Every structure is written in structure tokens, then in C-alpha cells.
Amino acid sequence: MSKSKLIPSGYEVIEDVPASKTKKYSFATFLKDSENKITGEEMRKLAKTQNANLGIADAEYLLEHQDLIPAEEQSHWLVFPGTLLRYSDGGLFVACLRWDGGRWVLDFYWVERDFYGYVRLVRSQVSRSLGASPLDTSARLAK
């Protein structure tokens, strides 16, 4: 389980993944052209199939190396679904980074809510072929 100093009081780590081995990242949408949102659970399942199931250890690294996040991502929330947290009231959350006018800050987003187009999955860029292209959503079941 994560021992990140970033996890605030009141949160319990339910699931966690180790930090990615590479420190090169890309940022990708997860919506099909016909979609404007998907559920948090759908997003978490998709992340696991698309090399985008990063956790709070990678969020912490990016907070410390904000120059690795392109300026064009400042209008997006960057989500890290590999770490699942439970708050003391029972709600489930994933870590996110969001732009706060002058720097990236850590926030937490309810998994029970829908995830919209302003959210991006962060991928470990293990080869040049991944680039920053959209995720392959073709394998996802139609609603």
C-alpha cells in the first residue's frame, strides 16, 4: 500500500500500484467521439488496459517535476486511477492533479461521479508509438 505523504488524514488506501519505471508520460482522453462522459468505474477499467493505470506515486513525481506536464494540459484534470482511496464517510476517490493558476496541485475526485472530457488519463510512455494519441476505446462495450 502507498506510504505517500500526499494522502491526507481521513483517507484509507484500498488499492495501489507501484510507481512506473519510466518517468516519461503522455496524457490522453478516454472518451469515444460519441461520448461526453463515462463512469468512474469504466474509466478505471479502461486505464488498466491502456498503460494508464498510474497511481499516487506518479502523481507525486509529477508534482515535484511540473515541467514534465505540457502547458496545453493546464485546462485538464490529470487522473491517477491506480490508487483507490476510501474517505472516512465511505466515498471512493482517485488522485488527480489540476492547474491552480500558477502550479499543479493535488486533488481527489469521487469515483462514483462521471468523468468528462476535461479529464485526462496519464500514461507511462514506454515507447514512442504511444505518443499523446487518444486511448483505444474500441474494445469498450457499448452502453
Between CA 6 and CA 130 the distance in angstroms is 29
Q: What is the pLDDT of residues 79-101, one digit of tens each?
A: 999 999 999 999 999 999 999 99
pLDDT at 130: 40
pLDDT at 3: 58
Q: How confident is the model at residue 50 (pLDDT cuts 50, 70, 90)?
A: confident
Residue 99 corresponds to which amino acid? W
Q: Find the mean pLDDT for residues 109-113.
A: 94
* The total number of residues written for the chain in this structure: 143
User: What residues contact 84, with CB distance under 8 A and at least 6 apart?
Assistant: 13, 14, 15, 16, 44, 92, 93, 94, 111
**Coil, strand or helix at 68:** helix
Give me the residue label for grid cell 474500441.
138
Q: H-type helices in the chain, by residue range?
A: 40-49, 56-64
Q: What is the pLDDT of residues 27-47, one digit of tens each?
A: 999 898 889 999 999 999 999
Between CA 90 and CA 120 the distance in angstroms is 25
- Asked if residues 30 and 114 have their Cβ atoms less than 8 Å apart, the reply is no
CB atoms within 10 A of CB 46: 22
pLDDT at 141: 40
Average pLDDT over the chain, rounded to an integer: 87
pLDDT at 77: 97
DSSP H/E element including 65 = none
Q: How confident is the model at residue 6 (pLDDT cuts 50, 70, 90)?
A: confident
